Amino acid sequence: MDAKLTYSGAMPKTIWSPEDKAAIVKNLAFIRQQNERYPQPRINGAMKVGIRPNTPLYYPVAATGMRPMTFQVTGMPPGLVLDKNTGIIRGKVQKAGDYTLQLTVTNKHGKAQRSLKLLVGDQLALTPPMGYLSWNVVEGLISEPFIRELADAMEQFGLRDVGYQYINMDDCWQGNRDSSGNITPDRFRFPNGMKVVGDYLHAKGFKFGIYSSPGPTTCAGYPGTLNFEESDARTWASWGIDYVKYDGCSVPGERAKELYGLMGNLLKASGRSIVYSGRKDSGAHLWRIGGDLRDQWYIEGRDVGIIQSFEKAIVNASTQQPGAGSIPICW
């Protein structure tokens, strides 16, 4: 069957089942209640962050406690600025080096302080990325309205305040290639383009992740990057991408190491600090060691359950280090 969605007027919104929506609202409300239960400010999130010189930084000071609160940061290198109301640090640092920032968060119930190590150099993902991946919830129904609603919910219910920062799209976002070979998003589900989506996430302090595969097609049959690697890396950077999941479908076996390594080098030279989830021997920051994670304790077949994912992590614990580590899930 060859079909496409057409509509007039406003773009259709993602429809959640009543059960799914109720469960999500309940879980997010519980997180917010826990945050409000302890009104004193507390600083959360990574204590060490790596970026490359002269690449954009979006770092929200993750803090729980009763709002309103104010933020103060001292020791910032030239090029960075702090929004004292939202606690988001932005900018670019030109000079490589290690910097120690002192974070202070204050509300009417007290004050919290902590140091943040900012390493400007060649290391990224110094701690495991925390965030959301779309596949297990919407699979092929990923869209701009869904991403916006998700970002709003993660902000509203306090997930950003405990350190969650990445919002990553999985497969099925792709449209066709234009006459110059540049990949484009599905024009019905992303009518405003991807840069608009990235700008929306960055304004809230989130980071933007995307998905592709080194072969001619992705796992869901959408265009992969084979023979378009340089173009796609450049396009993703122009959209403001911060994370790339490079999957393993339709990859020419004899060229696998070469193709994963090629994308790693292109992302490194993209002008952005893009975290790369790919293959262990290709310069990736993360690599998968199992199938997709499912909401069961144990599962037979390619995918893994919760307990199985922990078991795989334990087996691979010796390979973990800042900037390089395995992930027993579908990130």
pLDDT digits (tens, 9 = 90+) for 126-135: 998 999 999 8
Q: Tell me: the pLDDT tens digits for 41-87?
A: 999 999 999 999 999 999 999 999 998 999 999 999 999 999 998 99
Strand order in the sheet with 325-327: 131-133, 166-168, 207-212, 243-246, 275-278, 286-288, 325-327
Q: How far apart are CA 20 and CA 289, in angstroms?
A: 29
pLDDT of the residue at 1: 41
Q: Are strands 97-107 and 110-120 parallel, antiparallel or unpaired?
A: antiparallel
Q: Tell me the DSSP string of 28-89.
A: HHHHHHHHHHS-S-EE-S-SEEEE-TTS-EEEE--EESSSS-EEEEESPPTTEEE-TTT-EE
Q: Enumerate the β-bridge partners of residue 93.
A: none
Locate 155 and state its tokens: 């902000």
Would you list the domain boundaries of the chain? 42-120, 131-287
Q: Which residue is it, tokens 């994912």? A: 309
How would you classify the pairing of strands 325-327 and 286-288? parallel
- Is there a catalytic annotation at residue 98? no
What is the predicted pLDDT for the residue at 143?
Answer: 95
The span from the CA of 260 to the CA of 283, in Å, is 8
d(CA 121, CA 158): 31
Domains 42-120 and 131-287 share a fold: no
- Nearest Cα neighbor of 245 from 210, 208, 291 is 210
| pLDDT at position 330 | 55
269-285 burial code (b ≥16 CB/10 A, e <16): ebebbbbbbbbbebbbb
Catalytic residue among 122, 242, 292, 303: 292
Mean pLDDT of each 10-residue bin along the chain, 331 residues long: 54 60 73 77 96 97 94 98 95 98 97 98 93 87 94 91 96 97 96 98 98 96 98 99 95 93 97 94 84 79 79 75 61 57
In the annotation, is 292 catalytic?
yes
- Residue 2, pLDDT score: 47
What integer pLDDT is reported at residue 307 of this predicted model? 83
pLDDT of residue 327: 60
Token code pair at residue 100: 């120690």
- Indicate which residue of 161, 170, 242, 247 is catalytic: 247
Query: Structure tokens of 127?
Result: 């701690």
**The pTM is what?**
0.88
pLDDT score for 38: 86
Tell me the CATH architecture of domain 131-287.
Alpha-Beta Barrel (3.20)
Tokens of 269: 């030279």
The pLDDT score that the predictor gives to residue 58 is 94
Q: Give the Cα separation of 289 and 280 in Å (integer).
A: 10
Backbone angles phi, psi at 53, to 5 degrees: -60, 140
42-120, superfamily in CATH? Answer: Immunoglobulins (2.60.40.10)
